[in-house]
Amino acid sequence: MKVFINGQFVPQEDAKISVFDHGLLYGDGVFEGIRSYNGKAFRLQEHLDRLWNSAKAIWLQIPMTKQQMAEAIQEALRQNGIRDGYIRVVVTRGVGTLGLDPNRCSNPQVIIIADKISLYPKEYYENGLEIVTVSTLRNHPAALSPRIKSLNYLNNILAKIEGLQAGCIEALMLNHKGEVAECTGDNIFVVRQGRLLTPPTDAGILEGITRAAVIELARADGYQVLEIPLTKHDVYIADECFLTGTAAEVVPVVKVDSRPIGDGKPGPITRHLMARFHQLTQQETQ
């Protein structure tokens, strides 16, 4: 595998960063996870915009233009012969001292890894997932905004560990107000009486690119979509529930905290949106 680091493509074994990089020492950096279909990055502009916004929020200057980054991403896919894959873009603060001061860091490091995608097992899409609500709250937006896709993912990892300990591969996180926020690496939607409901940005969530695409698709198909605060109760009494994310795409949820959602099977609107999203990924990457 060839990895892009520091402006060039090098063999995986040579793709290394310093132990003094603040990305490692402090999680000081930002990243993106991007899907490719048919050899083309899906919704690349949206991912680049979010990456640049994350960087801006932490006063990190990405040492290339969006156009250069887009070209490097496509080149990473080409060099590795990846058609349906997953791209990880990481921008670290760069090498600094052992102190926190980001001003003492020199060159931000840009890393692009294009790899095969490890998909969720097919049965999750056919039969749906079971998830649990965990005790780890999503970061308070005033402490570290969940809108920043930063290299510090411990909040999500701690929630993921709780979920895994309960036998679930995804876990539902609440915010500091006790409202539903999102899952550890996916956004959440519920369907009630034919309408789609999903937590708003100010519930303290990452503004998912799959979430935005699904909202667009649902509205285009005539469904009402409301971005409103939700409680666990809203999830328990939903007719349907599903998660969205770059890696997962659209995945049905059939049980939350041991309660079956709807009739305990992936619902019709969820199945419709799974198919529509799949179509969209193919259409946009031809």
Query: What residues numbered 91-120 form the site for ligand PMP, per CB under 6 A?
Result: none
Stretch of 54-62, 101-109, 203-211, 222-230 lying at the interface with ligand PMP (CB under 6 A): 203-211
Stretch that binds ligand PMP, among 79-87, 88-96, 159-167, 182-190 (CB under 6 A): 182-190
Number of residues that bind ligand PMP (CB under 6 A): 14
Does 163 engage in binding with ligand PMP (CB under 6 A)?
no
* Phi-psi domain of 167 (left: phi exceeds 0; alpha: psi -120 through 50; beta: other): left
Partner residues linked to 243 by β-bridges: 188, 251
Catalytic entry in 149, 160, 177, 232: 149
Q: Which of 138, 277, 281, 278 is nearest to 199 (CA)?
A: 138
Catalytic-residue membership of 149: yes
- Select the residue interacting with ligand PMP from 96, 141, 163, 185 (CB under 6 A): 185
β strands within 207-247, DSSP E: 225-227, 240-245
Residue 286 structure tokens: 């031809």
3-state helix, strand, coil in the chain (%, to 5): 35, 30, 40
- Return the residue of 51, 129, 134, 209 that touches ligand PMP, per CB under 6 A: 209
Q: How far apart are CA 270 and CA 266, in angstroms?
A: 7
From candidates 28, 130, 179, 182, binder to ligand PMP by CB under 6 A = 182
Helix, strand, or coil here: 224?
coil
The reply on whether position 187 binds ligand PMP by CB under 6 A is: yes
Name the residue among 10, 27, 11, 278 with its Cα closest to residue 149.
27
Binding-site member from 150, 244, 281, 285 for ligand PMP (CB under 6 A): 244
Judge contact between 168 and 257, C-beta under 8 A. no
Does residue 199 touch ligand PMP according to CB under 6 A?
A: no
Instruction: Pick between residue 20 and residue 70 the one whose CB is nearest to ligand PMP.
Output: 70
Binding site for ligand PMP (CB under 6 A): 33, 156, 182, 185-187, 206, 208-211, 244-246
| Residues annotated catalytic, as ranges | 149
